[in-house]
């Protein structure tokens, strides 16, 4: 966490925070009660990278935290992956620059798995969405994965949107 382990940020992640506490672990270098601040996110990302094979940069401007995280990954000897974006989209500058500098271009999960040395082990057949059970934020009714996929595809456009924004627009929570 970028703040104290007991500080939930953003607030809409309260349920996720509780599930992680129940099934996993919340990790933070910051003292309890510390509110997250922008300068603390690179410190948090350094810890996450320590437990990761690499980082996938999806969007970011030249001075964004995603670029800082990519540099930290290189410093730690981790793989850096990047999803290309439109050269006209400001938030695609970081991933496009990283690809130019040698980051692994990501077109699908296969690109990541192949680079990590596990070819064919988890090839995405398009059925992976059927494994997720997602609930509506408002009414907690189950939504068919195919309906979720359709809602998400309808929301994707230029300029790019974040996963959190897609989740809000589609009114679904991320599966745990």
Beta bridge partners of 38: none
**131 lies in the same domain as 119:** no
In this structure, the answer to whether residues 61 and 99 fall within a common structural domain is yes
- The one-character DSSP state at 77 is T
The reply to whether 34 falls in a domain is: no
Kind plus residue range of the DSSP H or E element containing 104: strand 104-105
Give the DSSP H or E segment for 50: helix 41-50
Both 118 and 134 in a single domain?
Answer: no
Residue range(s) defining the domain that contains residue 59: 53-124
Same domain, 58 and 116: yes
Of the three residues 82, 106, 124, the one that is the final residue of a domain is 124
- Residue 47, pLDDT > 80, answer yes
**Interatomic CA distance for residues 86 and 100, integer angstroms:** 14
Q: Is the pTM of this model over 0.85?
A: no
Give the CATH number of the domain where residue 61 resides.
Answer: 3.40.50
Domain membership flag for residue 19 = no
Span 85-124, pLDDT tens digits: 999 999 999 999 999 999 999 998 888 988 888 544 544 4
Shared domain for 65 and 111, answered yes or no, is yes
Are residues 59 and 112 part of one domain?
Answer: yes
Pair 84, 146 in one domain = no
130 and 71 fall within a common domain:
no
Q: Which tens digits make up the pLDDT trace of 114-160?
A: 888 854 454 444 444 333 333 333 444 556 667 776 766 666 655 56
Q: How far apart are CA 10 and CA 26, in angstroms?
A: 15
What domain count does the chain have? 2
Pair 85, 139 in one domain: no
Q: Both 65 and 86 in a single domain? A: yes
Residue 60: CB partners within 8 Å, gap ≥ 6?
A: 66, 67, 91, 93, 94, 95
Q: What local confidence, expressed as pLDDT, does residue 147 receive?
A: 72
- pLDDT reported for residue 155: 64
d(CA 153, CA 170): 10
Task: Note whether residue 45 is domain-resident.
Answer: no
19 pLDDT more than 50? yes
């Amino acid at each position: 966490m970028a703040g104290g382990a007991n500080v939930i940020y953003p607030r809409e992640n309260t349920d996720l925070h509780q599930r992680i506490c129940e099934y996993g672990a919340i990790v933070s270098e910051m003292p309890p009660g510390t509110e997250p601040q922008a300068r603390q996110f690179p410190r948090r990302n350094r810890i996450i990278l320590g437990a990761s094979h690499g980082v996938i940069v999806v969007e970011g401007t030249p001075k964004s935290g995603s670029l800082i995280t990519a540099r930290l990954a290189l410093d730690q000897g981790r793989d850096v992956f990047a999803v290309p974006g439109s050269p006209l989209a400001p938030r695609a500058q970081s991933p496009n620059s990283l690809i130019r500098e040698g980051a692994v271009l990501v077109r699908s999960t296969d690109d990541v798995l192949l680079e990590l040395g596990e070819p064919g082990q988890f090839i995405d057949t398009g059925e992976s969405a059927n494994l997720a059970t997602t609930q509506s934020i408002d009414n907690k009714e189950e939504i068919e994965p195919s309906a979720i996929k359709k809602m998400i595809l309808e929301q994707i456009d230029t300029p790019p949107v974040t996963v959190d924004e897609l989740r809000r627009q589609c009114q679904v929570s991320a599966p745990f």
